[in-house]
Amino acid sequence: MSQPMSIFIPRVFDNITKQFVIDTFHKLLLGEVSHVDFVAKLSNNGETYNAVYVHFHKWYDNIASENFRIRAADAEKEARIVYDEPWYWICLENKAVKHNSSQPKVRIDLTHFHKEVASIQNMEQEDTQWMDEIDEIIEKEENQQTDAWNMMVEDLNQHHNNEVDYYCQTVDANYAWILEQTIVRLQNEIYYLRNPNF
Protein backbone atom coordinates (compact mmCIF):
# COMPACT_ATOMS: atom_id res chain seq x y z
CA MET A 1 0.00 0.00 0.00
CA SER A 2 1.38 3.42 -0.96
CA GLN A 3 2.00 6.18 1.52
CA PRO A 4 -0.68 8.87 1.82
CA MET A 5 0.11 12.11 0.03
CA SER A 6 2.20 14.47 2.17
CA ILE A 7 2.02 18.26 2.14
CA PHE A 8 4.70 20.91 1.73
CA ILE A 9 4.12 24.35 3.27
CA PRO A 10 6.83 26.68 1.90
CA ARG A 11 6.59 29.35 4.60
CA VAL A 12 5.44 29.16 8.22
CA PHE A 13 6.23 31.76 10.89
CA ASP A 14 8.90 30.50 13.26
CA ASN A 15 6.56 30.86 16.28
CA ILE A 16 4.32 28.05 14.94
CA THR A 17 4.96 24.67 16.60
CA LYS A 18 4.77 21.17 15.15
CA GLN A 19 1.91 20.36 17.50
CA PHE A 20 -0.03 23.40 16.25
CA VAL A 21 0.33 22.13 12.66
CA ILE A 22 -0.86 18.64 13.68
CA ASP A 23 -3.83 20.07 15.60
CA THR A 24 -4.81 22.40 12.73
CA PHE A 25 -5.05 19.56 10.17
CA HIS A 26 -7.10 17.51 12.64
CA LYS A 27 -9.36 20.41 13.69
CA LEU A 28 -10.18 21.18 10.03
CA LEU A 29 -11.02 17.47 9.49
CA LEU A 30 -8.40 17.05 6.77
CA GLY A 31 -6.28 14.20 8.05
CA GLU A 32 -4.44 12.42 10.84
CA VAL A 33 -0.84 13.63 10.84
CA SER A 34 1.89 11.09 11.59
CA HIS A 35 4.74 13.59 11.90
CA VAL A 36 5.87 17.06 10.89
CA ASP A 37 9.35 18.09 9.69
CA PHE A 38 10.52 21.71 10.04
CA VAL A 39 13.37 23.12 7.96
CA ALA A 40 14.67 26.46 9.28
CA LYS A 41 15.02 29.15 6.62
CA LEU A 42 16.27 32.73 6.44
CA SER A 43 14.62 35.29 4.16
CA ASN A 44 16.53 37.85 2.10
CA ASN A 45 15.74 40.53 4.68
CA GLY A 46 17.03 38.39 7.57
CA GLU A 47 13.74 37.06 8.96
CA THR A 48 13.64 33.44 10.12
CA TYR A 49 10.81 31.10 9.16
CA ASN A 50 10.24 27.39 8.56
CA ALA A 51 9.47 25.30 5.52
CA VAL A 52 7.20 22.48 6.72
CA TYR A 53 6.62 18.91 5.53
CA VAL A 54 3.45 17.31 6.86
CA HIS A 55 3.20 13.50 6.70
CA PHE A 56 -0.05 11.61 7.32
CA HIS A 57 -1.18 8.32 8.81
CA LYS A 58 -4.35 8.82 6.80
CA TRP A 59 -6.48 11.42 5.12
CA TYR A 60 -10.05 11.74 6.41
CA ASP A 61 -12.78 10.53 4.11
CA ASN A 62 -14.81 13.68 3.50
CA ILE A 63 -15.43 16.29 0.78
CA ALA A 64 -13.25 18.99 2.43
CA SER A 65 -10.28 16.63 2.69
CA GLU A 66 -10.71 15.38 -0.88
CA ASN A 67 -11.03 18.92 -2.33
CA PHE A 68 -7.98 20.04 -0.34
CA ARG A 69 -5.84 17.19 -1.72
CA ILE A 70 -7.01 17.87 -5.30
CA ARG A 71 -6.11 21.57 -5.00
CA ALA A 72 -2.75 20.81 -3.35
CA ALA A 73 -1.83 18.37 -6.13
CA ASP A 74 -2.78 20.82 -8.93
CA ALA A 75 -0.01 23.31 -9.75
CA GLU A 76 -2.59 25.62 -11.38
CA LYS A 77 -4.58 25.95 -8.17
CA GLU A 78 -3.69 26.97 -4.65
CA ALA A 79 -4.68 25.08 -1.53
CA ARG A 80 -4.81 27.21 1.60
CA ILE A 81 -5.33 26.52 5.27
CA VAL A 82 -6.62 29.48 7.24
CA TYR A 83 -5.24 28.69 10.68
CA ASP A 84 -6.00 32.02 12.37
CA GLU A 85 -8.06 34.56 10.40
CA PRO A 86 -6.61 36.27 8.32
CA TRP A 87 -3.41 34.16 8.54
CA TYR A 88 -3.09 31.17 6.23
CA TRP A 89 -0.60 28.67 4.83
CA ILE A 90 -0.17 27.89 1.15
CA CYS A 91 -0.09 24.11 0.83
CA LEU A 92 1.40 22.09 -2.01
CA GLU A 93 1.79 18.40 -2.67
CA ASN A 94 5.16 17.27 -1.33
CA LYS A 95 6.99 15.87 -4.34
CA ALA A 96 10.37 15.66 -2.63
CA VAL A 97 11.85 12.19 -2.43
CA LYS A 98 12.52 11.10 1.13
CA HIS A 99 16.10 9.97 1.65
CA ASN A 100 16.57 6.35 2.73
CA SER A 101 18.59 6.60 5.94
CA SER A 102 20.20 3.19 5.33
CA GLN A 103 22.00 4.53 2.24
CA PRO A 104 24.62 7.25 2.39
CA LYS A 105 23.64 10.58 0.90
CA VAL A 106 25.26 11.63 -2.34
CA ARG A 107 27.87 14.25 -1.63
CA ILE A 108 29.37 16.71 -4.05
CA ASP A 109 33.05 17.39 -3.62
CA LEU A 110 33.42 21.16 -3.70
CA THR A 111 37.16 21.18 -2.97
CA HIS A 112 38.02 22.01 -6.58
CA PHE A 113 35.31 24.68 -6.65
CA HIS A 114 36.66 26.32 -3.48
CA LYS A 115 40.18 26.29 -4.97
CA GLU A 116 38.86 27.96 -8.13
CA VAL A 117 37.06 30.61 -6.08
CA ALA A 118 40.26 31.25 -4.08
CA SER A 119 42.23 31.50 -7.33
CA ILE A 120 39.76 34.01 -8.75
CA GLN A 121 39.88 36.03 -5.54
CA ASN A 122 43.70 36.06 -5.73
CA MET A 123 43.53 37.22 -9.35
CA GLU A 124 41.12 39.98 -8.38
CA GLN A 125 43.47 41.03 -5.59
CA GLU A 126 46.43 41.05 -8.00
CA ASP A 127 44.37 43.08 -10.48
CA THR A 128 43.56 45.54 -7.72
CA GLN A 129 47.25 45.82 -6.80
CA TRP A 130 48.17 46.23 -10.47
CA MET A 131 45.54 48.95 -10.90
CA ASP A 132 46.84 50.69 -7.76
CA GLU A 133 50.34 50.66 -9.25
CA ILE A 134 49.02 52.10 -12.51
CA ASP A 135 47.15 54.78 -10.60
CA GLU A 136 50.39 55.67 -8.77
CA ILE A 137 52.27 55.93 -12.08
CA ILE A 138 49.50 58.06 -13.59
CA GLU A 139 49.43 60.28 -10.51
CA LYS A 140 53.22 60.64 -10.63
CA GLU A 141 53.12 61.55 -14.34
CA GLU A 142 50.28 64.00 -13.75
CA ASN A 143 52.19 65.56 -10.86
CA GLN A 144 55.32 65.88 -13.03
CA GLN A 145 53.25 67.41 -15.79
CA THR A 146 51.62 69.78 -13.30
CA ASP A 147 55.03 70.67 -11.88
CA ALA A 148 56.34 71.40 -15.39
CA TRP A 149 53.33 73.60 -16.09
CA ASN A 150 53.71 75.37 -12.77
CA MET A 151 57.40 76.01 -13.43
CA MET A 152 56.58 77.30 -16.89
CA VAL A 153 53.82 79.57 -15.53
CA GLU A 154 56.13 80.79 -12.79
CA ASP A 155 58.84 81.44 -15.35
CA LEU A 156 56.34 83.29 -17.53
CA ASN A 157 55.16 85.33 -14.58
CA GLN A 158 58.76 86.32 -13.73
CA HIS A 159 59.48 87.37 -17.27
CA HIS A 160 56.05 88.97 -17.58
CA ASN A 161 56.91 91.24 -14.71
CA ASN A 162 60.10 92.27 -16.51
CA GLU A 163 58.91 92.70 -20.05
CA VAL A 164 56.25 90.59 -21.76
CA ASP A 165 57.26 91.60 -25.25
CA TYR A 166 60.93 90.91 -24.63
CA TYR A 167 60.16 87.41 -23.26
CA CYS A 168 57.93 86.51 -26.18
CA GLN A 169 60.62 87.53 -28.63
CA THR A 170 63.41 85.62 -26.86
CA VAL A 171 61.66 82.25 -26.29
CA ASP A 172 63.55 79.60 -28.18
CA ALA A 173 61.30 77.79 -30.69
CA ASN A 174 63.08 74.49 -29.97
CA TYR A 175 62.30 74.85 -26.26
CA ALA A 176 58.60 75.40 -27.02
CA TRP A 177 58.55 72.45 -29.43
CA ILE A 178 60.21 70.15 -26.83
CA LEU A 179 57.63 71.21 -24.23
CA GLU A 180 54.76 70.49 -26.62
CA GLN A 181 56.17 67.07 -27.55
CA THR A 182 56.70 66.20 -23.88
CA ILE A 183 53.11 67.12 -23.06
CA VAL A 184 51.74 65.02 -25.95
CA ARG A 185 53.93 62.03 -24.93
CA LEU A 186 52.78 62.24 -21.32
CA GLN A 187 49.13 62.51 -22.36
CA ASN A 188 49.52 59.41 -24.58
CA GLU A 189 51.22 57.44 -21.79
CA ILE A 190 48.44 58.36 -19.36
CA TYR A 191 45.83 57.29 -21.90
CA TYR A 192 47.49 53.89 -22.48
CA LEU A 193 47.93 53.30 -18.76
CA ARG A 194 44.24 53.99 -18.18
CA ASN A 195 43.19 51.85 -21.15
CA PRO A 196 45.44 48.75 -21.06
CA ASN A 197 43.24 46.81 -23.53
CA PHE A 198 43.64 49.44 -26.25
pLDDT tens-digit readout, 57-79: 999 999 999 999 999 999 888 89
State how far the Cα of 146 lies from the Cα of 33, in Å rounded to an integer.
81
Q: Which residues of the chain have pLDDT under 70?
A: 1-2, 98-114, 155-171, 196-198
Dihedral of CA atoms 57, 60, 61, 66 in degrees, nearest 10, equals -100
Report the pLDDT value the prediction gives residue 64, as an integer from 0 to 100.
Answer: 93
State how far the Cα of 65 lies from the Cα of 61, in Å rounded to an integer.
7
Report the pLDDT value the prediction gives residue 35, as an integer from 0 to 100.
Answer: 94
CA nearest neighbour of 138 among 177, 196, 181, 179:
196
Report the pLDDT value the prediction gives residue 31, as an integer from 0 to 100.
Answer: 94
State how far the Cα of 167 lies from the Cα of 178, in Å rounded to an integer.
18
